[in-house]
Amino acid sequence: MKIRKIYLLMSVLWLTGCSDFLEESSQDEVRPAMISDLEQILLGDGYHDNHNFFYMTEIFTDNVKSVEPLVYVQDEYERNKWRYLWDSKMFDDDGGGYYNGCWEIPYKGILGCNLVLDYLDDMKGEDLVRESLRGEALVLRSWYYFHLINFFGVAYNQGNPETDLGVPLKLDATVTGQFFTRNTVKEVYARIEQDLLRGNKLLSTNRYDRNFFRIDHLAAKAILSRVYLYMEDWDKALAYADSVLMVKSNLLDLNDGGRVYNTSSTPDEIIWVREYSEGYSISFQPRLSPPFILSENLIDIYTDNVDFRKSLFLYYNSTITRGYPGISKGSSDYGKMQGIRTAELYLNRAEAYVRKYLAGGQDEFRLKALADLNKLRKYRLNKSKYAEVDLTDGQELLDFCLTERRRELCGETSHRWCDVRRLGVMVTHLLYDSSIEYEQNMEYYALPIPKVITEQNPSLVQNQ
């Protein structure tokens, strides 16, 4: 059996049906024989280093505003204003400039996962490790598809998932000349759910020591909770949040300082984390003079001198002429981090309880939602000024819960992008030098597929 390195280096050209890929050859072939060989492929090509693809979505949301750029960032402004205004050419040479990372990077990770899944049964080694690795690859693949469907498909709870177009499902590493078409949103979510459930079962029954840089059964359950929340399956969303928090419920007390992704001093809040570079940071990492910065719409939801998240999650870089806020909570002793934290599970569960309270009126759900929200806030607010929240009106409680979610999760793994879409938020953007307001109803919005991808594969229908 031969697995050619060209499979790993050619990204996702197999998805476009590009004939050149079929003509490639490589003299440098690897011949995996052991499960440990495939594990290295998963670590190198499934868990690739570039995770900026899910960080760039902040510019599409109400967390961001435009400011006058200094001369040396004028090019960055000209490039990113296409994305800020949701222009259909935002990823193209004749628009915002060539960029296909939000399509190519996830599919590259999927290819690495598919290679492992295709050849795992042929490898020698311990069965426990084999099945654990299978579960890990399934969950990681679902993570990539989950981001792809939320980039290029309409939100599951909006429109009609049975007919709305999602992304192509490629579930093996076989190279063909086929032009792949887009599966529906429902089909993609069904595969995500199937892979997560199977992966969770395999990881739960075949325990294999991992650090928090790799997916384990808790990460699988946490992703399931998020998926079901987006699907509005409240019972399953809170059930999987429960299953995580029963094992790992720790929260970092911001009264003691520190960063939620500081992997040496605060690992208990981290369920799964990956490093990313700043190669595609717009303004959300601390930088000198970015042309797009955090909006007052976000900054003003934090209470000064009460909510420590304002000083520890957000960043204010003051210069002689002006100051620039950004998001800095991804900083850690290992570099820049993104991932899944226990805080999200409290918020998932709280929202599910509120939704159930609104649907049925049972006060026990209201009280359980408040318990989760107040516990999180206890670890985020100044102890000397902390007071529990007690809301009885269901809509007020939901609004408070969603605002708390925004406070806690801004700048992480496309949370705000996914939330404004599933909540149908109308986002308004204004360029610094214009009086024209640009509005986008996120209810039915999906990103345009980069033109280079549709040119390579004419079978891909473009989003309108």
- Residue 252: closest CA among 240, 270, 236: 270
Q: What is the pLDDT of residue 191?
A: 99
Convert the pLDDT of each residue in 150-207 to its tens digit: 999 999 999 999 999 999 999 999 988 889 999 999 999 999 999 999 999 999 999 9
Q: Note the CATH number of domain 3-274+336-456.
A: 1.25.40.390
Q: Is the pLDDT of residue 6 over 50?
A: no
- The Cβ of residue 463 has, within 10 Å, a number of other Cβ atoms equal to 17
Convert the pLDDT of each residue in 211-251 to its tens digit: 889 999 999 999 999 999 999 999 999 999 999 999 999 99
Q: What is the pLDDT of residue 257?
A: 78
Q: What is the pLDDT of residue 310?
A: 92
**What is the rounded distance in angstroms from the CA atom of residue 4 to the CA atom of residue 384?**
61
Least confident of 220-224, 279-283, 374-378: 279-283
Least confident of 178-182, 352-356, 396-400: 178-182
Q: Is the pLDDT of residue 95 over 50?
A: yes
Least confident of 63-72, 156-165, 167-176, 327-336: 327-336
Q: Is the pLDDT of residue 336 over 60?
A: yes
Looking at residue 90, its amino acid is M
**What is the rounded distance in angstroms from the CA atom of residue 391 to the CA atom of residue 350?**
13
Q: What is the pLDDT of residue 8?
A: 40
Domains of the chain, residue spans: 3-274+336-456
426 - beta bridge partners?
Answer: 441
**What is the rounded distance in angstroms from the CA atom of residue 141 to the CA atom of residue 138?**
5
| R_g of the chain, CA atoms, integer Å | 22
Looking at residue 369, its amino acid is A
pLDDT interval class at 1 (50, 70, 90): very low
Least confident of 156-165, 230-239, 273-282, 442-451: 273-282
336 - beta bridge partners?
Answer: 276, 331
Global pTM value: 0.92
Q: What is the pLDDT of residue 324?
A: 63
Q: Is pLDDT larger for residue 425 or for residue 275?
A: 425
Q: What is the pLDDT of residue 13?
A: 37
Convert the pLDDT of each residue in 285-317 to its tens digit: 445 578 888 999 999 999 999 999 998 888 766
Q: Is pLDDT larger for residue 422 or for residue 336?
A: 422
Q: Is the pLDDT of residue 66 over 70?
A: yes
Share of the chain above pLDDT 90, in %: 69
pLDDT interval class at 55 (50, 70, 90): low
Q: Phi-psi category of 411—alpha, beta or left, where left has phi over 0 and alpha has psi -120 to 50?
A: left
For every residue of 132-170, DSSP letters joined together read HHHHHHHHHHHHHHHHHHHHHS--TTSS-TTTSB-----
- Residue 32: closest CA among 115, 90, 113, 91: 115
Considering the chain, what is the average pLDDT of its residues? Answer: 87
